[in-house]
Structure 1
């Protein structure tokens, strides 16, 4: 295991753990981006709306895997969720995430 794997764990293992616990996939792209293609069954809340939706997201009572186009916005969303007591992980770009999770 490399240094980063040792320090941060294996992301694929974390993704599979979240998937096995029925995590919600949260797409934080714009509406136009989401409407052009998304992971089936994912929820959509644009990144800029995340802070106002924390209460609603907490009601899901499930871990959250965030995704976007490349992983930048989903990283910000995962950080916001984590700071608010929601178990969240950045899944990165939605196309790659779908492949990793076999969706």
Structure 2
């Protein structure tokens, strides 16, 4: 499961200083696999804080973590758009793609009350 928080900033130095502790807070949570902070190549004011998780439940529980809540000033500045993405097709270098099934049944997609 990928979580992608997108930001627009005119102060990249400040943003990087605030994003690093937020990423570290996520990294201490159960189910965290990896993450990073990246800047758009063609739009230097556009940044993302991305994280990868074992599952959506671990990501959602991480948002209740004290350390992550202390990062809320940064996270509250994220652009208002979808954050969580279910990985359904992957491909490793030199291999064929692998398709996985969704954790959601068709009638639960888009419902916020589902894990």
**What's the TM-score once normalised by structure 2's chain length?**
0.25
Q: Which has the larger radius of gyration?
A: 2
Looking at secondary structure, tell me which structure has more strand per residue: 2
